[in-house]
Structure 1
C-alpha cells in the first residue's frame, strides 16, 4: 500500500472511531458553575475526536442573538481574527493570527498522534497560514460598521494579546513581547517593533499568548499555555508554561505570577474586586465530561493543579511521577465553564448600553473537539455580584453550528466598543460581530 493510501485509510479509520464516541454521559450544563459534576475519568484506546467542519457563513447569515439583542457584522473579510483590543479613542485593533509552523524535528517527535491532531485541527479551520498582523478598524460615523480598515502593524510572529501602557502598544507574539510607540488616532505604527522580552516558544503546543497591563502600567501579565496535554514530554519542557507571567515593563524581567493553569487565555481585571481573572482551557482525553474549562480569580503565587490534579485536588493518575505536595497546594477554581468548550475570550462588561450585563463576564467559547456531543460554539454571559459569579450562564450568541453540525463560525476574543456594544472575533467566519440592544 502506498503512503498516500495508508494515510487515507488511517484517516478514514480515525474518523470512524471519532464518530463512534457515543452520547455524552452528562448534559453540558453539569460542567458549569462553582460546583461542576466531576465523573470518573474514562480512557479508551483512542480519544474521542469529533470536529465540526469549518464551512463559513452563507451570504447574509449571522449568529443568533439572545432575546432583546441584535447582531450585525462590524467588520468582515478578515484573515483568521483571533483577539480584539479597544484603543482609548474607540478604534479597534484585531490580531489576525494563527499558529506558527512547527520545525520538522518536532513534527516527527510528535508522531502519529501529532499527525492526526493536525489533521483534525485543519478540519476545524484552526490550521492556516498566519497573517501575522494587527489590523485597525474605525467606525467614524457611528453606524456600527467599520468603514476603515488599515494594517497597523505587520511582520509579527503569531500575535495575540495587546495592551497599551506608558505611551506604547505592547503585543504578545508567540515567542516574545514587543512594543511600538502609540499616539491617539494613529492608523499605523510609526516605528518597527522593539522586543521587551522573550517568551517560551519551544514546540508551542499552546501558542497563544494573552496580555494585559496593570492599572498603573508598570507590569504586564502574559498567559502562557502548557506544551502538552498533561506533561506528555516531561516537565523540563514546561518551564514558565501553564502559567501567568508578570513582566516588569521597564526592565523586561519576569516571574511566575500564578502557575498550574493549563492554558490561560482570556485575562481581564474585575471592575468590582480589581482582581485579575482568567479563562483556562483544561486537559483532554479522559472523557466527554472531564475536565471542565473554567474562569477564576488569580491569587498571586497560587498554584491551580496542572498537570498533577484538576479542579482543585482531583488527582490525574496519568501523570507520572505523582506529586502529592503540589496537589495539596492546588486551589479550586471559582467557576466551571463546561467540559471541552474551549473557553478563550473573557471580558467584563463596564458599559451602559446593556445594563443587565453590568459587571458580569462575557466568554467566547471556541467549541469542542474531544466530546462526542458538541459543547461550546457560542458566546455566554455569567452574572457577577460583589466581584464573584452570582448565577448560571446565559446564552448571548448561538447558531455558530448549522443543522449539519458544521461550524459556520467559531467565537474567540470578546471586547466592548466605545458605545458599550459587544464585539466578538470569529476566526472561521473571518468576521467581527457586534451585539447591541434590539431597539
Structure 2
C-alpha cells in the first residue's frame, strides 16, 4: 500500500474507463484565483478527478485560431506531426520538435490499481489526441519571402527520443530528449544534420508520468537549464522514483556536469530570461485531484536553490494533506510562486515579448501557451495569453492573444504548446493537436 493517500476508488476507476465522471458535478465552479496573490478555495476531494475531455478533432485546411484585436494569424506550416516546441535560428529558420510521449518501459509495477489507473489515463490521452506514436524528429521551416508561410520544409534531424526543448550555443545545438540531453554540430543556414547526436548527460526517465524536457542556455552560453517533471501527481508511487525530478537542473555546457538548480516544481516546462532583470522564469503545471479549481498552474521566477513545495505543499505553505508522512520542515521553506495562471490550464510555452514586432500594449510581458485542461468543468486554457510586466514583474490580468482552439461543443481543434518570437518579433505558436505552427503578427 502506498504511503500516500489517494482519492481513487476501484468502482470509480472502472466508470472512468468509459469516461463517465463520478466526481464533482453538482455545484457551479469557483473561479480560481489568477494573479500574484490568488484567492484559493479549500480542497474538494473526490473519488476520481473530474473528467471533461476535449476530444481532438483538428482544423480544416483553411480554419485557424482567432487572434486578438489588432493582430492577424497565418499558418507558417500545417500537416505537421504533433509539433511541440520551437527554436528560431540566427538566419530566421524555425526548428520544430515533432514529438509525443515515449512508449512505457517493459515490465514495471503490474498491480491491479496501477494497471486500471494507467488505463484511465490512456483513455483520457487517446481522446485528447495524445496517443499518437512519436515522430521523434526535428523539422526545419524556412519562410524565405517573409509572407508568414514556410516554403521549405525539411527533416533536420531524426531518430531522436521524444525530443522537446532545443538551445543553440555557438555552433552546437542542444536537444532535450525524454531520457538525455544530447547535442549535434550546427552551421548557419544548414537544412539537415548528418552527424549522430552525442550525449551530454542523462536525464531522469523511466515511467515518464511527465516526459517533456526543456532546455535553455544562459546568456553567456556556459550553462544550460533543463526541466524535468515529476513521475506522479503527488508522489503516490513513492519518492524513490522522484529522484532528480520535479526540478530544474543546471548543466555545464562544456563538461556535462550538472547540479540541482531548483526543486519542488511539479512539472516545469517553458523557461525564458526576463529581459529587464535577466532572471530565469518558468511556467509550471501543478497537482490534480483536489477539485476543478485547485491547484493553479503558475508563472514564476526561479531562485537558485529554491524549493517550491511539491509534493508536500502548494502555493507556499498550503499543505497537501493527502501526502503522508507530512514534512513541515519542507513546507516551511517552500517558495510561493509569483503569478497564478488559473487551475488546470496546462501552461507549457513561455517567451518574453519584444517591442520590435509587438504594439505598445504587448511590448513588455510574457506570452504563455496554455495546452488546456482535461479534468476541469468548465474547460480552462486552450489559448495563448499575454501577462503584462513592469519593472521585471507581472502586473495586471492575463490578456487573450490567440483563442478559438475549442469548438462551441467543447471539442479541440488544437492545443497550443511552445511559443517563441521569430526574427521579426512576431509570435510563433506550436499547436500539437492542430498539427500546425501559427504566426501571430500585428495587422498593419
Structure-2-length-normalised TM-score: 0.94
Give how far 1:431 is off: 0.3
The question of whether the paired residues in 1 share the 8 Å contact of 2:22 and 2:47 is answered with: no
CA–CA distance in structure 2, aligned partners of residues 333 and 81 of structure 1: 29
CA–CA distance in structure 2, aligned partners of residues 198 and 388 of structure 1: 34
CA–CA distance in structure 2, aligned partners of residues 382 and 237 of structure 1: 35
Q: Counterpart of 2:160?
A: 156
Out of 103, 108, 112, the residue aligned to residue 106 of structure 1 is 108
Which runs of structure 2 are paired with 1:11-410 in the superposition (5 Å)?
Answer: 14-17=18-21, 21-22=25-26, 24-27=28-31, 30-106=32-108, 108-109=110-111, 110-355=114-359, 356-410=361-415
CA–CA distance in structure 1, aligned partners of residues 28 and 162 of structure 2: 35
**Farther off after superposition, 348-357 or 152-161:** 348-357
Distance 1:306 1:15, change over 3 A: same
Structure 1 regions of 5+ residues with no counterpart?
Answer: 1-6
CA–CA distance in structure 2, aligned partners of residues 405 and 362 of structure 1: 24
1:217-271: per-residue Cα shift (whole Å, max 9, x none)?
Answer: 1111000000000001111111110000001111111111000000000000000
**Farther off after superposition, 321-330 or 35-44:** 35-44
Residue 124 of structure 2: SS of its match in structure 1?
helix
| Higher helix fraction (1 or 2) | 1
The question of whether the paired residues in 2 share the 8 Å contact of 1:31 and 1:336 is answered with: yes
The question of whether the paired residues in 1 share the 8 Å contact of 2:23 and 2:48 is answered with: no
**Farther off after superposition, 345-354 or 173-182:** 345-354
The question of whether the paired residues in 1 share the 8 Å contact of 2:15 and 2:22 is answered with: no
CA–CA distance in structure 1, aligned partners of residues 18 and 52 of structure 2: 10
Residue 21 of structure 2: SS of its match in structure 1?
helix
CA–CA distance in structure 1, aligned partners of residues 206 and 24 of structure 2: 35
CA–CA distance in structure 2, aligned partners of residues 93 and 349 of structure 1: 19
CA–CA distance in structure 2, aligned partners of residues 108 and 100 of structure 1: 19
Give how far 1:22 is off: 4.1
Moved over 4 A (4+): 9-14
Distance 1:258 1:43, change over 3 A: same
Residue 105 of structure 1: SS of its match in structure 2?
coil
Residue 424 of structure 1: SS of its match in structure 2?
strand
Give how far 1:25 is off: 2.5
Distance 1:144 1:330, change over 3 A: same
Residue 214 of structure 2: SS of its match in structure 1?
strand
CA–CA distance in structure 1, aligned partners of residues 392 and 385 of structure 2: 18
Give how far 1:111 is off: 1.7
The question of whether the paired residues in 2 share the 8 Å contact of 1:257 and 1:300 is answered with: yes
Distance 1:127 1:106, change over 3 A: farther
Distance 1:295 1:79, change over 3 A: same
1:9-36: per-residue Cα shift (whole Å, max 9, x none)?
Answer: 9467742326863454312xx3210111
The question of whether the paired residues in 2 share the 8 Å contact of 1:96 and 1:135 is answered with: yes
CA–CA distance in structure 1, aligned partners of residues 317 and 287 of structure 2: 14
CA–CA distance in structure 2, aligned partners of residues 257 and 319 of structure 1: 24
Equivalences, count: 430
The question of whether the paired residues in 2 share the 8 Å contact of 1:351 and 1:419 is answered with: no
Instruction: Please tell me the root mean square deviation across aligned C-alpha atoms, in Å.
Output: 1.6
Give how far 1:102 is off: 0.2
Structure-1-length-normalised TM-score: 0.95
2:417 matches 1:412: yes
